[in-house]
Amino acid sequence: MTLQLRVYVPPHPLIKHWLAVARDVATPPVLFRSAITELGRWLTYEAAREWLPTMETMVQSPLDSCPATLIDPEVPVAVVPILRAGLGLLEGAQSLLPLASIYHLGLVRNEETLEPTCYLNKLPEKFDPQTRVLITDPMLATGGSIMLAMAELTQRGIDPAMTRIVCVVAAPPALQKLSAAYAGLNVYTATIDEIVNNQGYIVPGLGDAGDRIYGT
């Protein structure tokens, strides 16, 4: 089977609702933050299918014993929020993945060149190769930031096929770069918007996600 990038846009009414709230320029930061948290929760719920490790066991109900499936606590699960804006998705993701380790990665784009630089890297030197990684970043625009994040992860032993990206708006330049470099990677997004303008903003998008989350 040939591995290829898969991009999922789950057709879920809650995802559509919170995307509409996040897009609306009239939404104040306090509600914008809630919308991003909710999107983090529901997109992580979708991304966890066939990704979160499980184990088969038996449980004793009040009436009989029966086969059961549990989350396997032995297989490491990691969430990598890309600061700042990826922190907005973390709370919802963490509510579903309470056992996950959180490794912060701080990236910021240069406003003129749009090239990202890393100002905080809390990734371990080496990951267990079994680790399932969920990256959170609401915006995949030119793709510079997500490509830098993927490079940092794969050089530490992460398998792209065990990696899920949760974002809110994905644009073609980022998806094309990911597709060319990381077969087997899965992206979960609330929407795909076609345009990235000359300033590096997705159109219609939702504006500067970090600024809107933190009211800056």
Where along the sequence are the contacts to ligand URA (CB under 6 A)? 85, 139, 141, 200-202, 205, 208-210
Residue 210, interface with ligand PRP (CB under 6 A)? yes
Q: Which of 19, 39, 80, 85 binds ligand PRP (CB under 6 A)?
A: 85
- Of 29-37, 42-50, 135-143, 187-195, the segment contacting ligand PRP by CB under 6 A is 135-143
Query: Residue 154 carries which side chain, given as an amino acid letter?
Result: T
Task: Classify 83 as helix, strand or coil.
Answer: strand
Tokens 């038996």 sit on residue: 58
Record the tokens describing residue 41, joined without a space: 């929760």
Q: Which does 12 bind (CB under 5 to 8 A by kind): ligand PRP, ligand URA, none?
A: none
In sign, the C-alpha dihedral spanning 130, 136, 140, 142 is: negative
149 to 188, contacts with ligand PRP by CB under 6 A?
Answer: 174
Cα angle vertex 5, ends 89, 138, to 5°? Answer: 20
Residue 52 or 123 having the CB closest to ligand PRP: 123
Cis, peptide link before residue 84, omega less than 30° from 0? yes
Phi and psi at 44, nearest 5°, equal: -70, -40
92 vs 210 by CB, closer to ligand URA: 210
Binding test (CB under 6 A) with ligand PRP, winner from 27, 37, 142, 191: 142
Q: Pick from ligand URA, ligand PRP, none: which does 40 bind, CB < 5 to 8 A by kind?
A: none
Q: Which is nearer to ligand PRP, 142 or 163 (CB)?
A: 142
Sequence-ordered strand ranges (E) for the chain: 6-8, 54-60, 65-71, 77-83, 101-102, 105-109, 116-121, 132-136, 139-140, 163-166, 169-170, 186-188, 191-192, 195-196, 202-203
Instruction: Please report how close the Cβ of residue 109 comes to ligand PRP at its closest, in angstroms.
Output: 4
Q: Which stretch binds ligand PRP (CB under 6 A): 9-17, 18-26, 77-85, 92-100?
A: 77-85
Examine residue 144 and tell whether it contacts ligand PRP (CB under 6 A).
Answer: yes
Q: Count of residues for the chain?
A: 216
Site of interaction with ligand PRP (CB under 6 A): 82-85, 107-109, 114, 116, 137-146, 174, 200, 209-210
